[in-house]
Amino acid sequence: MSYPLGWSLTTRIGVRRERWPGGYDLKCEPLVSAGALVEPSQPVMRILQIERPRLLPDVPRLSLPASIGPTLPGAVSGTLRERGSTIAAGLRGRVIAITRRGSVVIEGLAAIVAGTVGVGRQVAGPLTIWQAPGSTEGQLYIPPGALLVVPGPLNLNMLRQALYSGIAGVVASSISSRDLEAFLRTDLIDLLNCANPELLLGTLPPLTILLTEGLGTVAMPVRTINLLNKYRGVTALLSGATSLSAQIYPELVIPLSEAEMRERVSTPEPEVELQRGALVRVCSGNYEGAVGKIDYLFSHQQLFPSGVRARAARIQLEDGSLLIVPLPVLERIG
């Protein structure tokens, strides 16, 4: 995939987002009016009504999978979405519109971490960095409704712990497809192909997930960890919605502070051409997930062990080693 904004990390960009927790089962009323300035943790909507998911019979493949109602994993479903509960802005900026369904559109400046795969509603919460057991830093308190950043691969147990802990969302590098399917109890192919991700929300566990590197056991790049560390404690907006056909991808939108917003900084327009010096990620093959810089671009096609000939580049990986790969398996990330 090419990231919708060009690169996987965007440190400063104007954004306009509709604040809507997702799904067709909610009715909300706005608590702010158009033109108002809002802060990330400020409530901007109140939930008026939640419709219980109906127990639908088995339906043809094109319809929703049957809801499993109260037996969804995680009895905490609904604690953050009870009638009368409020929804925080997640962004710092100005309200520019109130929509017919009661949602609020906010415009501001933010940093964005683009994900490859994700799932779940749009949620807002403070970014909290998870510390592995035994690390030198002790684990800080993880507040309910936090967006937990796990700077590495997830597994099924970790997701279940996150769900039962009342965490609103998880940002991690990757997870195996088997563990993710076991947690979501749905076919990932259906999830990725669904043209309207909002339709599935009612049947999924109430935990938003964003994977920066996708499926497998790929580590999170250092630059991504550094950016997330920089903004620890900041209330951010996380959306897990993914639809390949509708070109919807998960994202973590981190509002810039007032001081950062006042800075006169020109940010370069992300370039997506594969050029010498471009920071790239290998997205397939034996070195999937490896990050490096393009060192040399071959003018003639190169032969690979599969027998395929393709235009290729030599990249220098983060550990200094050199790798020759076809251009189509590279994505520019910076």
Partner 1 sequence: MYMQTESSPGEMQQNPASRYEPETARAILVADCGTVVTKVSLLGLVEGQYRLMARGEAPTTAAAPHKDITRGIIQAIEEIERITGHRLVARGRILSPQQMSGDGVDLFVTAISAGGPIRLVVLGAVTPQLAELSAQAVSGLYAETHVIPSPAFSSVHGSGQGPWTPDRVKLEWERQLQSMRELQPHAALIVGLADSPAGATPLQEACQLVINAMQDQKKLGVARERLLPVLYAGAPQYVEAVRRMLHGHADVTRVETLVSQKQLGPVSMAATALYERDVIQQVPGYEQVRAWSPAAPVGAAGSLSSLVRFLAQHYTMNVTAVDVGASTTSVMMGGERGEFIPMVNAGIGIGPNIGAILQQVGVQRVARWLPFTISEEELKQYVMNRMMHPQVVPTSLRDLQIAQAFAREAIILTVETGAHAQSGQFSADLILATVGVLAHAPKYGQAMLLLLDALQPRGVTSMVLDRTMLISQLGAVATVAPVAAVQVNENDAVMHRLGTCVVPFGDLPAGQHALKVDVEYSNGRKISVDVMSGSIEVIPLQINEQALLSLYPAPTVDVGLGPGERARAAEEIDGGLVGLVIDARGRPLALAQDDAERQARLLQWMQVIGA
In angstroms, rounded to a whole number, what is the distance separating the alpha carbons of residues 126 and 106?
Answer: 18
C-alpha–C-alpha distance, residues 178 and 216, integer Å: 9
SS3 184: helix
Look-up: residue for tokens 């290729």? 312
Question: Residue 186 and residue 197: Cα distance in Å, rounded?
Answer: 13
Provide the 3-class DSSP secondary structure of residue 171. strand
Per rule CB under 8 A, is residue 63 in the interface with partner 1? yes
Q: Which of 3, 130, 183, 231 binds partner 1 (CB under 8 A)?
A: 3
Work out which of 96, 182, 244, 279 binds partner 1, going by CB under 8 A.
Answer: 244
Is residue 243 a contact residue for partner 1 (CB under 8 A)?
A: no
Residues 183-222 touching partner 1, rule: CB under 8 A, are 187-190, 192-196, 199, 214-216
Residue 68 makes contact with partner 1 by CB under 8 A: no
Residues 48, 243, 92, 229, CA torsion sign = positive
34 lies in the site for partner 1, by CB under 8 A? no
98 binds partner 1 (CB under 8 A): no
Q: Which stretch binds partner 1 (CB under 8 A): 56-64, 131-139, 143-151, 165-173?
A: 56-64
Residue 59 within binding range of partner 1, rule CB under 8 A: yes
Instruction: Choose, by CB under 8 A, the member of 52, 178, 230, 232 that binds partner 1.
Output: 178
Sheet bearing 291-297, strands edge to edge: 322-326, 312-317, 291-297, 279-282, 330-332
Q: Applying CB under 8 A, does 284 fall inside the site for partner 1?
A: yes
**Does 321 help bind partner 1 (rule: CB under 8 A)?**
no
- Asked if residue 116 binds partner 1 (CB under 8 A), the reply is yes
Choice between 137 and 269, CB closer to partner 1: 269
Q: Is 99 in the site for partner 1 (CB under 8 A)?
A: yes
Q: What's the alpha-carbon Rg for the chain, to the nearest Å?
A: 21
| Cα–Cα distance for residue pair 282/290, rounded to 1 Å | 5
Of 67, 131, 155, 176, the one binding partner 1 (CB under 8 A) is 176
Residue 290 within binding range of partner 1, rule CB under 8 A: no
> Would you say 206 and 74 are in contact if contact means Cβ atoms under 8 Å apart?
yes
Query: CB of residue 152 vs partner 1: minimum separation in angstroms?
Result: 18
13 binds partner 1 per the rule CB under 8 A: no
5: buried, middle or exposed (CB in 10 Å: 19+, 13-18, 0-12)?
middle
Rank residues 115 and 125 by Cβ distance to partner 1 and give the closer one: 115
Distance of CA 30 to the CA centre of its chain: 25
Contact between 95 and 106 under an 8 Å Cβ cutoff? The reply is yes
Shortest separation between residue 125's beta carbon and partner 1, angstroms: 25
Site size with partner 1, rule: CB under 8 A: 60
Residue 57 or 138 with smaller CB distance to partner 1: 57
- Smallest separation, CB 169 to partner 1 (Å): 21
- Write out 42-84 in H/E/C secondary structure: CEEEEEEEECCCCCCCCCCCCCCCCCCHHHCCCCCCCHHHCCC
Nearer to partner 1, 27 or 232 (CB): 27
Shortest spacing between CB 63 and partner 1, in angstroms: 5
Q: Distances from the Cα of 36 to the Cαs of 4, 13, 33, 255, 332, in angstroms?
A: 29, 20, 6, 16, 38
In sequence order, the β-bridge partners of residue 303 are 309
Residues that bind partner 1 (CB under 8 A): 1-6, 24, 54, 56-57, 59, 61-64, 99-101, 103, 116-117, 176-178, 187-190, 192-196, 199, 214-216, 244-245, 247, 270, 272, 283-286, 288, 299, 304-310, 325-326, 328-329, 331
